[in-house]
Structure 1
Amino acid sequence: MNIFLHILTHNVLPLTIMIAIGITMGKVFRPDIKTLSKLNFYVFSPAMMFELLFHTAISLQLFGQVMLFFFLFMALQYAMVEAVIRIRKYEGGMKNAMRNSVLFYNSANYGIPINQLAFAGNPMSLAVQVLIMMMQNLVPNTYGIYSVNAHKADWRQIRRIILGMPTVYVIPAALLLRRLHAEIPSSIETPIRYLSDAFIGTALITLGIQLGIMTWKITRSAAVDVGLSTVLRLVLGPLIAWLLVLLLGVDGIVASALIVSSAVPTSLSSVLLAVEFDNEPEFASQTVLLSTVLSILSVTAVISSLHLLG
């Protein structure tokens, strides 16, 4: 019960309040959501990524373990969602929207606090979560952009968009500067920190605005699609992660952190991609909202199971 209440009051409730503010803004003022989306993609998200990577200690062994897990986990998730896409016979942008709703999960503003709660601020578990967050930031800015544009643009246009994303350059820069023990002048570090702090609030308000301006007419078919996405993300995601850590022989705090990292709801990135490139924004918003609400129960169950097994 304590874990449930903590997740509710410290994670889900703050997110809900921010989303509610965005919904109100969307209904009353109808702000330009494309501008907000660009701020998230090109300014706030890269700053947050740089800030966390530069200030987190990560060993080479841990880096290798987490990368191996991540690529296998993504491959298995992809196979799983592809089976659903074929069974449901999705076409066009809906195929990519469903993939993104399952493959991209909220490893930053949901995953980091949950990690700190579940493992009492353990530096090893935090390093695991930061690495997962790094990849979950990089993949939407590369594969994610490709997937939502593949059915309506040629490779040259897609490549130009991907190479224009700051995250592609920010991640290696942050890792290299940390490796070289570089010192960043306060005149540069301070604005980076300010921009990083703005990411979560702006992304949540963007989601709320999208929910506020869209038409809430959910057909039976759409409800099934959103429900399927949520089950794939919240139930099968952690089950796949659990099987993987067993097969890879990963144990202890690293194994537990990897399982918890896989249990979080659909990422805001799926909404930002959908809005920025006009690819099923209503479906994307609904999956983020439903998976975030239901994660109160699912994430609590995952953490409780790890406590019992540990």
Structure 2
Amino acid sequence: MSYFVYILINNIVPISIMIAIGAVMYRAFHLDIKTLSKLNFYVFSPAIVFVKLYESEMNLSVILQVLLFFALFFSLLFAVIEIYIRIRKMQRGMRIAMRNSVIFYNSANYALPLNQTVFGGNAYTLSIQIIIMIMQNLIPNTYGIYTLNAHKSTWKATMKTILSLPVIYAIPIAVLLRYFHLPVPSSIHLPLTYLSNAFMATALLTLGVQLGGMKWEFHFSNVAVSNILRLIAGPLLGFLVVWMLGITGLTAQALVLSCAVPTSLSSVLLAIEYENEPEFSSQAVFTSTLFSMFTIPVVIYFVGFL
């Protein structure tokens, strides 16, 4: 019950307030969703990836183990959603949006504070979550953009779009600086920290603006399936993978918990930026965040047995 109350007060309520502010701002001033989307893609997202990666402390063996887990988990999750969308014979746009709503999950502004709460600020479990966060920032900005552009652009043009994203360069630069223990000048690190801290607020306001401008023709069946696959199938596959790999203890607990969080704002930002089912994507993020209040405590209870 304490986890339920904590998640409600410290995750759901603050997130809902930010989303509501965005919706009200749209109704009052008709904010430009495209401008907000570009700020997230080109400014705030690469900043948070760089700062979190540069400031984290990660052991090579842990990194390799987490990456192996993520590769297997992501492949299984992708296979499950692929089976569903093929059975339903969805059109291309909805197929991509449905897939993104399941495989892209909120590993940053939801999973990081959740990880620190559940594990009492443990630096080791935080490092695990940061690795997952990095992968969950990299894939939407590469694979996610490729799938949305492949049918309407040449391979060369699509790659040009991907390579124009700052996050692609933020990751290797942060890794190299971290590996060689090179300090970032305070005149650069400070503004990056400010931008990193602005990511969550701007992303949630963007979601609120999108929701505020929607007609709310609810995609009930698709949203429900998306939520089930993200919030229930996700952690179940996480349990399966740690069992397959023989991972136990804190590592297993942190990895499974990372699989249980709601749909990422990245799916909404991609949908808005490339005009692909933004209403469905926004509804999937909003409802999965809301229902995670009930599913996350259950996952937390069961990871205690790992």
| TM-score of Structure 1 vs Structure 2, range by shorter chain | over 0.9
Number of equivalent positions? 306
- Residue 206 of structure 1 corresponds to 206
User: Take 1:233 and 1:75, find their aligned partners in 2: how far apart are those partners?
Assistant: 14
Pair 1:43 & 2:40 matched: no
- Residue 259 of structure 1 corresponds to 256
User: Take 2:257 and 2:118, find their aligned partners in 1: how far apart are those partners?
Assistant: 8
- Residue 238 of structure 2 corresponds to 241
Q: CA RMSD in A?
A: 0.8
- Residue 290 of structure 1 corresponds to 287
- Residue 169 of structure 2 corresponds to 169
Pair 1:69 & 2:108 matched: no
1:155-203: CA deviation from partner (whole Å, max 9, x where unpaired): 1221111000111110011011001101111111110000001100000
1:63-84: CA deviation from partner (whole Å, max 9, x where unpaired): 0001001111111011000011
AA aligned to 1:31 is: L
AA aligned to 2:175 is: L
- Equivalent pairs: percent with the same residue? 54
- Residue 58 of structure 2 corresponds to 58
What's the CA shift for 1:237? 0.2
- Residue 306 of structure 1 corresponds to 303
User: Take 2:153 and 2:21, find their aligned partners in 1: how far apart are those partners?
Assistant: 35
Structure 1 contact 92–151 (Cα < 8 Å) conserved? no
Which runs of 5 or more structure 2 residues have no equivalent in the other structure?
none
What's the CA shift for 1:257? 0.2
SS at match of 1:152: coil
User: Take 1:97 and 1:118, find their aligned partners in 2: how far apart are those partners?
Assistant: 31
1:26-69: CA deviation from partner (whole Å, max 9, x where unpaired): 22211111010000000001011111111110000000001001
Pair 1:13 & 2:13 matched: yes
- Residue 90 of structure 1 corresponds to 90
User: Structure 1 residues 66-75 or 153-162, which shifts more?
Assistant: 153-162
SS at match of 1:131: helix
AA aligned to 2:221 is: V
User: Take 2:238 and 2:38, find their aligned partners in 1: how far apart are those partners?
Assistant: 32
What's the CA shift for 1:305? 1.7
What's the CA shift for 1:278? 0.3
TM-score by length of structure 1 reads 0.97
SS at match of 2:159: helix
Structure 1 contact 101–284 (Cα < 8 Å) conserved? yes
TM-score by length of structure 2 reads 0.99
User: Take 1:117 and 1:280, find their aligned partners in 2: how far apart are those partners?
Assistant: 34
User: Take 1:9 and 1:304, find their aligned partners in 2: how far apart are those partners?
Assistant: 19
User: Take 1:87 and 1:125, find their aligned partners in 2: how far apart are those partners?
Assistant: 38
What's the CA shift for 1:154? 2.1
Residues 175-190 of structure 1 mapped to structure 2, 5 A cutoff: 175-190=175-190
User: Take 1:148 and 1:284, find their aligned partners in 2: how far apart are those partners?
Assistant: 14
